[in-house]
Structure 1
Amino acid sequence: MNEQRPVPAGSSRLTIDLDALRANYRSLAVRVAPARCGAVVKANAYGLGVAQAAPALYREGCRSFFVAQFCEATALARAIGAGAEIFILNGVDPGNEAFCAEQNFLPVLNSLSQVERWRALARTLGRALPAALQIDTGMSRLGLPQSAAMALAGDASFAREVELRLLLTHLACADEPERPENSAQLAAFNAVGACFPSVPKSVANSGGVMLSSDYHGDLARPGVALYGVDPGPADAGLRPVIGLGARVIQIRTIAAGTGVGYGLKHVATAAQRVATISLGYADGWPRSLSGVGAAWHRGVRLPILGRVSMDSLTVDISALPEAALAEGDFVEFLGPSQSLSDVARDAGTIAYEILTSLGTRHTRIFVENGVAQTFAAGEPL
């Protein structure tokens, strides 16, 4: 990495701690051992930048990566090169089968139509094609019905045409450990898995990693936990991976009776010092935080006043000494004072949505081994 790389000054900056990402992977890998630990890096590594996050995970020993779509698989392959397996969770789109096979990607076959198209290509090529098979054990989202999967297990031609590398299912309630649906899904999956005794099994998403070893199978596939978000009610000891700060554009004092922002939804009841910040919903900061969320500065909470706009928001800085904040300074939105989970709670959503919505207008600073690599806002990652 080149910390001297010059970039234009940005209005907001997103810091991604690749050392923390790697530490979280190590922690999860230890937790699921002797099962292997993969990594879900779909949605551009949950919005952080797959071109930087995936190689860091590879350096930490990860060799099984999961994306959602074919386009993500091609970007990931460019980032990590050969030597790892890339699973496409949504399977292969009609017409993309040959491309997928040429790139040695592993489609997760979720329906009989996907299975049949993959088998047809195998017959055309005259060789078995590798793939994974997903079983729907109760989530009703993706995967073959259990009866259909068992029928394939008894189909000798299927075994000749499809080289199964993984059998998987997805837990609907893993973030709620006490839900009986978890054990019901596991039992259903194990019943199907018994029909494929030599195929590696995968059940555990991030929440599943925190469940008992019965759920860990042969390969775990954590996602959001890698990025520092606890996937369940317990503290998993994960390290925060990102920080977000945005600049003060303007500071003013408003009199009692003065409105703030679109619709003038906030009206000052007394004189207030307010700061307009260069962060809005176009930058992934939810509009639902209007009048609810906050920024922080030097451990002091700065409540958001009125509506979050597309490119800016306004906070109350009356609690700060006048000299504590000036135009051009940064205030904290994600960091030691406010976690992703805190923001998600205040916004009435989940940390996944905050992460994947942060957008491209932030200057991004990737830090690893004490060295920073900086990308200007809008620069391809």
Structure 2
Amino acid sequence: MPDVIGLNSNLSDNPSDAGYANTSRSTMVVDLGAIESNYRKFRMLAPQSACGAVLKADAYGLGALRIAPFLARLGCGHFFVADVEEGAALRKVLPLSAKIYLLHGAMPGLEAAIEHHDLLPILNSREQLDAWLRHCRLRNRLLPAGVHVDTGLSRLGFPIDELQKAAENERVLSDLPVVLFMSQLACAEWRDEISRQQLDQFRKLTYLFPKAILSLSNSAGLFAGCEFHFDLIRSGGGILGLSISGDPDFRPSQVVRLRTRIIQCRRVKVGEAIGYHRSYPVKRQMRVATASIGYADGFPRSLGNRGHVFVYGARAPIVGFVSMDLISIDVTDLPESWTVPGTMVDLICPEQTVADVALAANMLSDELTTAIGRRCRRLYVSAKRDEMRRH
């Protein structure tokens, strides 16, 4: 398991400090205190609704098995993942009272595994509904599930007419314990007429499930208006500090920091070139540091010759292509004492957030964090010393 240490938000640049001495590779630092701050902000913004956590794709790459129990201790009782594998892993670290929903529903042949791990499939088609009811008959018991209706995204979910037919004409849903009824907003960030239409369609269908928890809003939907909130907000990127709203009154606390270390520093002369295909021609005497991160770690290859990093808070350009394991950095203007082997290099930091790096790479913020692979170690920090733990 990754390390969990008690640190304040001003992380040291000394590689011998706690948490860095035992790796030469890159480290994603995840601030649990910032996650707590974001979670509490969301609860305050929707005080009449519960705040669930969407932790699919390993909590957007940040580490679901560490973040989920932390949120559970804060009072979060609803968790959303993509599929059975993610749900089964989460069930091992969450209390039995926690509800774990599968956004992909009940895939064929996995109904028994869903029941075994006490998971809640969100049924999104007539085929899934019929298969789940067959499993209920086989087990001679009614097993709870959720229902997803498509109100405008044209992705997962029952078509509206098909759901109404199943519920009203055929009454196949009458005996099924539907614990959650949801839809997904297509463009909540825009707060436009499309979102209003989706709201109206969803609201008109809620009578079909009078006992179910109602959920329409994701993180961005929280800011569309309180009428979108219903019983449960499904927050993923918002809790995890990723950009989810253009609302000027809300900025999530930054959760992620990405760091690596300098391997060596060298001088290059005018007329030489840096990197594969000699992509950066040297036009002045330079000092170039090579740092231990590359596209194999999920750092965007597109940032070669155009991105930048920070060393002791000072900006330094990336020169040459991003290669599999390495990047080259122009440190000519930095003191030599700042660029000795082992020096920390910040790629995502207060000076350059996840959103900044994603924008420069023409990516989404969660696209960037989910791409950062397992070769990059996760380090969980908290300012609260009484939460210090090491795994």
Q: Do they fold alike, i.e. is TM over 0.5?
A: yes
**Contact 1:135–1:143 at 8 Å: present in 2 too?**
yes
Quote the residue 1:192 is aligned against.
Answer: 205
1:265 pairs, out of 279, 285, 291, with 279
Residue 221 to residue 138, structure 1, CA distance change in 2 (3 Å) = same
Q: State the shift of 1:157 in Å.
A: 4.0
Residue 234 to residue 278, structure 1, CA distance change in 2 (3 Å) = same
1:116 pairs, out of 130, 150, 158, with 130
**Contact 2:5–2:380 at 8 Å: present in 1 too?**
no
Quote the residue 1:251 is aligned against.
Answer: 265
Identity value in percent: 35
**Contact 1:92–1:109 at 8 Å: present in 2 too?**
yes
Q: How big is each residue's C-alpha offset from its partner over 1:154-203, in whole Å with a ceiling of 9 and x where there is no partner? A: 2444221x2101110111101222x3211111111112223333322101
Q: State the shift of 1:81 in Å.
A: 3.2
The answer as to 2:62 corresponding to 1:48 is yes
CA distance in 2, matches of 1:69, 1:195: 26
Q: State the shift of 1:209 in Å.
A: 1.3
Q: Report 1:51-62 matches (<5 A).
A: 51-62=65-76
CA distance in 1, matches of 2:20, 2:303: 34
The answer as to 2:241 corresponding to 1:228 is yes
Quote the residue 2:10 is aligned against.
Answer: none
Q: How big is each residue's C-alpha offset from its partner over 1:231-254, in whole Å with a ceiling of 9 and x where there is no partner? A: 022242311111111100111111
Q: State the shift of 1:5 in Å.
A: 9.1
Q: State the shift of 1:296 in Å.
A: 0.5
CA distance in 1, matches of 2:116, 2:341: 54
Quote the residue 2:215 is aligned against.
Answer: 202
Please identify, of 345-354 and 193-202, the stretch whose mean Cα deviation from structure 2 is larger: 193-202
Residue 372 to residue 332, structure 1, CA distance change in 2 (3 Å) = farther
Q: Report 1:17-96 matches (<5 A).
A: 17-96=31-110
Please identify, of 63-72 and 255-264, the stretch whose mean Cα deviation from structure 2 is larger: 255-264
Quote the residue 2:173 is aligned against.
Answer: 158
2:141 pairs, out of 116, 127, 136, with 127
Quote the residue 2:326 is aligned against.
Answer: 312
SS of 2:315's partner is: strand
Residue 297 to residue 164, structure 1, CA distance change in 2 (3 Å) = same
The answer as to 2:304 corresponding to 1:290 is yes
SS of 2:359's partner is: helix
Q: State the shift of 1:335 in Å.
A: 1.1
Aligned residues: 373
**Contact 1:176–1:232 at 8 Å: present in 2 too?**
no
**Contact 1:367–1:373 at 8 Å: present in 2 too?**
no
Q: State the shift of 1:48 in Å.
A: 1.2
Quote the residue 1:379 is aligned against.
Answer: none
Q: State the shift of 1:373 in Å.
A: 4.6
SS of 1:274's partner is: strand
**Contact 2:5–2:381 at 8 Å: present in 1 too?**
no
Higher RCO (CA-CA < 8 Å; seq separation 6+)? 2
**Contact 1:300–1:319 at 8 Å: present in 2 too?**
no
Q: TM-score, normalised by structure 2?
A: 0.91
CA distance in 2, matches of 1:319, 1:6: 26
Q: Report 1:206-217 matches (<5 A).
A: 206-217=219-230
SS of 2:92's partner is: helix
**Contact 1:294–1:304 at 8 Å: present in 2 too?**
yes
Q: TM-score, normalised by structure 1?
A: 0.94
**Contact 2:289–2:339 at 8 Å: present in 1 too?**
no
Amino acid at match of 1:203: L
**Contact 1:364–1:374 at 8 Å: present in 2 too?**
no
Q: State the shift of 1:372 in Å.
A: 4.9
Quote the residue 1:378 is aligned against.
Answer: none
CA distance in 2, matches of 1:211, 1:230: 15
Amino acid at match of 2:230: G
Q: State the shift of 1:319 in Å.
A: 2.1
Q: How big is each residue's C-alpha offset from its partner over 1:302-354, in whole Å with a ceiling of 9 and x where there is no partner? A: 11112100100111112212222211111111111110000000000110111
**Contact 2:53–2:235 at 8 Å: present in 1 too?**
yes
Quote the residue 1:99 is aligned against.
Answer: 113
Residue 280 to residue 67, structure 1, CA distance change in 2 (3 Å) = same
Q: State the shift of 1:260 in Å.
A: 0.9
**Contact 1:5–1:373 at 8 Å: present in 2 too?**
no
Q: State the shift of 1:300 in Å.
A: 1.5
CA distance in 2, matches of 1:222, 1:49: 16
Q: State the shift of 1:124 in Å.
A: 1.7
SS of 1:37's partner is: strand
CA distance in 2, matches of 1:11, 1:115: 47
Quote the residue 2:14 is aligned against.
Answer: none
Please identify, of 210-219 and 190-199, the stretch whose mean Cα deviation from structure 2 is larger: 190-199
Residue 62 to residue 297, structure 1, CA distance change in 2 (3 Å) = same
Amino acid at match of 2:243: D
Divergent runs of 4+, >6 A: 2-7
